[in-house]
């Protein structure tokens, strides 16, 4: 089973600032890496797939990078609606599909 | 647009059973794999089960293997999760999710299952 590890657990950022979230896989997942956003009381929403491709309707301020075992999600200028929990997930080696434990982006 | 609506959650005693349903619309259901993913209160996401578009392939997380069964009815655009021998640690919001090329791209709003005596 591939273990996904996200850091930091919590990121405190001011509106308008840049945020960078990290995700590490225990073995290579190539580019089979997705990022999801989850707001309180809501279902997750797909942001990024293939490590760097934005899903339909996702603003350009969200970008993904990396391959192999090291990945990053960058939000270039945080808006109020971006404060949420973000999860990475690998879909290279399955089952199981595995998620990171999440990074909470909170208002500083 | 894609819609996934889960139902069947509730409070159940340990050791009992529950069957969740997920009604899909807005896409050609019979051509996509479907997943169940759960989230315990205040915790992260845990993949539970997957079924292929035609029902010929199923897979389960080790934590539910032998207790949970995923199935689908393509004539009714519905996927099910039969949960037997429920335990307190199965308490979670259960999400139904659509797959696209091994990736989960759409999620339902979830249904809460609480296992408690």
pLDDT tens column, B54-86: 999 999 999 999 999 999 999 999 999 999 999
Given a cut of 90, is residue A108 above it in pLDDT?
no
Place of tokens 């080790």: B62
Measuring CA to CA, which residue among B51, B95, B99, B81 is closest to residue A38?
Answer: B95
d(CA A95, CA A105): 29
Partner residue opposite B47 with nearest CB, options A49, A97, A102: A97
* Phi and psi torsions of B109, nearest 5°: -85, -10
All residues at 6 or more sequence positions from A48 whose CB lies less than 8 Å from its CB, including other chains: A33, A34, A35, A54, A55, A58, A62, A63, A64, A73
d(CA B109, CA B98): 12
Task: Please compute the mean of the pLDDT values over residues B11-16 and round it to a whole number.
Answer: 97
Q: What is the dihedral of CA A1, A97, B12, B85, to 10 degrees?
A: -40
Residues B84-114 have pLDDT tens digits of 999 999 999 999 999 998 999 999 999 999 9
Contact A94 B102 (CB under 8 A): yes
- Are B12 and B114 in contact by the 8 Å Cβ rule? The answer is yes
Residue A101 in this model has a pLDDT that exceeds 90: yes
Nearest to A52 by CA among A35, A28, A68: A35
Tokens 């021998």 correspond to: B85
- Residue B17, pLDDT > 90, answer yes
Cβ-Cβ contacts under 8 Å, B103 against chain A: 32, 34, 46, 49, 91
pLDDT (tens digit per residue) in A3-52: 999 999 999 999 999 999 999 999 999 999 999 999 999 999 999 999 99
Q: How many CB pairs under 8 A join A and B?
A: 55
Residue A56, judged by CB atoms within 10 A of its CB (0-12, 13-18, 19+), counts as exposed
Counting Cα atoms < 13 Å in the Cβ hemisphere of B18 gives 23
Q: Write out pLDDT tens, residues A39-92.
A: 999 999 999 999 999 999 999 999 999 999 999 999 999 999 999 999 999 999
Question: Cβ of B47 and A91 within 8 Å?
Answer: no
Question: In this complex, is the C-beta atom of A103 within 8 Å of any C-beta atom belonging to chain B?
Answer: no
d(CA B80, CA B55): 11
């Amino acid at each position: 089973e591939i273990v996904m590890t996200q850091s930091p657990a919590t990121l405190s950022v001011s509106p308008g600032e840049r945020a960078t979230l990290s995700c590490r896989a225990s073995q290579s997942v190539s580019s089979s890496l997705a990022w999801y956003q989850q707001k309180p009381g809501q279902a997750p929403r797909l942001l990024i797939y293939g490590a760097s491709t934005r899903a339909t309707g996702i603003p350009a301020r969200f970008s993904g990078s990396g391959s192999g075992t090291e990945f990053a999600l960058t939000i270039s200028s945080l808006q109020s609606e971006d404060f949420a929990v973000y999860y990475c997930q690998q879909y290279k080696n399955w089952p199981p599909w595995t998620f990171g434990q999440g990074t909470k982006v909170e208002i500083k | 647009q894609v819609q996934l609506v889960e139902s069947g959650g509730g409070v159940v005693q340990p050791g009992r059973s529950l069957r969740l349903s997920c009604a899909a619309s807005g896409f050609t259901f019979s051509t996509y794999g479907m997943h169940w993913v759960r989230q315990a209160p205040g915790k992260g996401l845990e993949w539970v089960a997957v079924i292929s578009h035609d029902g010929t392939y199923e897979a389960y997380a080790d934590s539910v293997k032998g207790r949970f069964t995923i199935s689908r009815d393509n004539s009714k655009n519905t996927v099910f999760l039969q949960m037997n021998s429920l335990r307190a640690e199965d308490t979670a919001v259960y999400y139904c999710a659509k797959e696209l090329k091994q990736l989960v791209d759409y999620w339902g709003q979830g249904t809460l299952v609480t296992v408690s005596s």
